[in-house]
Amino acid sequence: MMMITMMNSNAEAVRIEINSDSFDQVLHDIRPNIVIFDQFITEEQVR
Amino acid sequence: MQQRWLGISRVNARSHFIVLLAAHLSHLLSFDPSIHQSIQRDKPVLDTHQSLSVMLQAARRLCQVNRVAAAGRRLLNSSISTTSAIPSNDVTVMLITRVWPEPSASAASVRDYSLLEIMSNAAQWLHDDPTTPSENSGGSSTNNDSNNSGGYSNSSSSGGTTRLVVASAAKDSPHREAISTTLYDLDTRSRYSNQALDADPIPRRIK
């Protein structure tokens, strides 16, 4: 199994709150060019 | 010039807001046996750009990417598009996920590795995008070079920097499961929204 250390990934981890205005501020601060969701929506509906 | 199939719609070349739906990795792996075999052989999961392409192919099969992309665009545009875009080669890729290892975690799973790969490839795609402004104005990049400890490059041949940000709820947070609810809300809202956005054709060949 492919394993990498998270500390070497260069990815910043940001903790967010959902359904909160604070998330808007997170977006303003990060200013992403691309946003990726890792979940398939329909799967969430039927889970 | 290299050509790639991208199952996404450009929103605004100036603001560079592009929203992707990454199909759930378990779906992705099940759709393409070669990826699974590659993982089993302990080889790199995917070549450059390949994971992004395969991911979107999987999403297209699930017939959801366009609708969700439109919903995500509205979320971002409502929050950010009022601010002027700063011409820059710097690229920031954000992943919204329910589960992500704590920074102190010693190792990542195949899923985590694959998501990082997708993020990195998406950033590289944007760096390579001919519509990306060529001038680097310096602007207000918030990239933190001091965190460059190896693993994924945060620079590109175009001279810009790459920033990968993973947004998730804290491990013990009640918001963790709520992320799914939010994504569901976005999906539901999109059904009553701008039909023109939803009607964007996919995939689109971009040179």
What value of ipTM does the predicted structure carry?
0.76
Between A5, A17, A28, which is nearest B80 by CB?
Answer: A28
Give dist(CA B47, CA B25) in Å, integer: 16
b/e per residue B88-125 (b: at least 16 CB within 10 A) = bbbbbbbbbbbebbeeeeeebbbbbbbbbbbbbbbbbb
In a domain, B138, yes or no: no
The pLDDT of residue B36 is: 46
HSE of A6, CA atoms in CB hemisphere, 13 A: 18
Domain span holding position B34: 4-131+149-206
Could you identify the residue written with the tokens 């200013």? A31
Between A2, A9, A18, which is nearest B152 by CB?
Answer: A9
Domain ranges of chain A: 20-47
User: Cβ of A35 and B96 within 8 Å?
Assistant: yes
Between B20, B64, B107, which is nearest A34 by CB?
Answer: B20
Q: Is the C-alpha dihedral spanning B150, B151, B157, B163 positive or negative?
A: negative
The pLDDT of residue A13 is: 86
Q: Residue A15 — pLDDT band, cuts 50, 70, 90?
A: confident
Between A3, A18, A41, which is nearest B64 by CB?
Answer: A41
Between the CA atoms of B185, B190, B191 and B194, what dihedral angle is there, to the nearest 10 degrees?
160
Give dist(CA A18, CA B117) in Å, integer: 25
Chain A hits for B183, CB-CB cut-off 8 Å, are: 37, 39, 41, 44
In a domain, B141, yes or no: no
Q: Does B44 touch chain A (CB under 8 A)?
A: yes
Residue B13 distance to chain A (closest CA, Å): 10
The pLDDT of residue B179 is: 46
Give the mean model confidence (pLDDT) for residues A9-26. 70
Chain B hits for A34, CB-CB cut-off 8 Å, are: 16, 18-20, 91-94, 122-123, 126
pTM of the entire structure?
A: 0.49
In a domain, B81, yes or no: yes
Chain A hits for B106, CB-CB cut-off 8 Å, are: 5-6
Number of domains within chain B: 1
Is the pLDDT assigned to residue A12 strictly greater than 80? yes
By CB neighbour count within 10 A (0-12 exposed, 13-18 middle, 19+ buried), where does B196 fall?
Answer: exposed
Give dist(CA B189, CA B181) in Å, integer: 12
The residues of chain B scoring below 50 in pLDDT are: 1-33, 35-36, 38-52, 54-87, 130-155, 175-207
Q: Does B144 touch chain A (CB under 8 A)?
A: yes
The pLDDT of residue B96 is: 73
Residue B34: count other Cβ atoms within 10 Å of its Cβ. 10
By three-state DSSP, how is residue B161 classified? strand
- By C-alpha distance, the chain A residue nearest B77 is A27
Give dist(CA B1, CA B171) in Å, integer: 44
